[in-house]
A = this chain, B = another copy of it.
Amino acid sequence: MQNQELLDRIVVVLVRARNPNNIGAVARAMHDFGFRHLRLVNDYTVPFETARSAVDAGAVLAAAVEFGSVAEAVADCTLVVGTTAVGERALQHPLHALPEAATQMREHLASGGDTPQVALLFGSEKTGLSNDELSHCNWLLTIPMQEHEEVRHPSMNLGQAVAVCLWELVRRPVTQPVAGAASPVDAAELERLTRLLTDVLEQTGYTRRHPANCDDAQIRRLVLRMGLTASDVPVWMGILRQILWHAARDKG
């Protein structure tokens, strides 16, 4: 899904977002997750280009396109998805929780045909999408939230809601190796460390006092549970050798 061509087929549409910093936060989240097409629907011009919160997202803001109506903003889209915090509004549309909604959007994009393109609409922070704006949507998406007794209609911060939706679209459940991950330690090295620790336990008298803790398998598991990285191993080797040297010196 991180394929740029597919990401470019998803358009984020902000309807009546008026705070430039919110628009900037949305642009930043888009940039972080690789989305490039931002559209703004407003009945007047918002000076969003100066948004301070759009660290590194200048390209998204520079390419943002303004429209005078939702109809124009989604005209070239083959699937139009509205976001809603649900609340009291009597919904006239099918409603999907985010995980299922993201699956459906991905499947729509994968369906081929005449270059499918998905619009994901977010309303103003204060009022969300109006009924008229929602009427342009094929179906609605909601981010399931915790219900609180004291608050009737929870709603998310706009930048956070966009970040969570876009993350859900790009997330890959099966973990891939991450660049910069700590180098794994091979078993031979761990075995050397296990030998060295065994020597230490013997030389320091631990084995005599606690023989029940000291069979080979127990010590090996103990070392494995240390969860060592490759760069840790020589450090631990050094510590253990120092202990051995010290123990031998005391004996001598």
Contacts from A to B (Cβ < 8 Å): 2, 7, 25, 28-29, 31-34, 53, 55-56, 59, 71, 74-80, 86-87, 89-100, 103-104, 107-108, 110-111, 113-114, 116-117, 119, 131-132, 134-139, 142-146, 148, 150-151, 154, 156-157, 159-160, 163-164, 167-168, 170-176, 178-188, 191, 216-218, 220-221, 224, 227, 229-232
Contacts and interface: CB of A to CB of B under 8 A. Distances in A.
Contacts of A135: 216-218, 220-221, 224
B180 A86 contact: yes
A184 B79 contact: yes
Contacts of A150: 59
Contacts of A100: 174-176
25 contacts: A28-B156, A29-B156, A32-B145, A32-B146, A32-B156, A53-B157, A59-B150, A71-B191, A78-B186, A79-B184, A92-B231, A94-B181, A95-B178, A95-B181, A96-B175, A97-B176, A98-B171, A114-B184, A132-B216, A144-B172, A144-B178, A156-B163, A159-B159, A163-B164, A164-B167
A94 B231 CA distance: 11
Contacts of A107: 178, 181
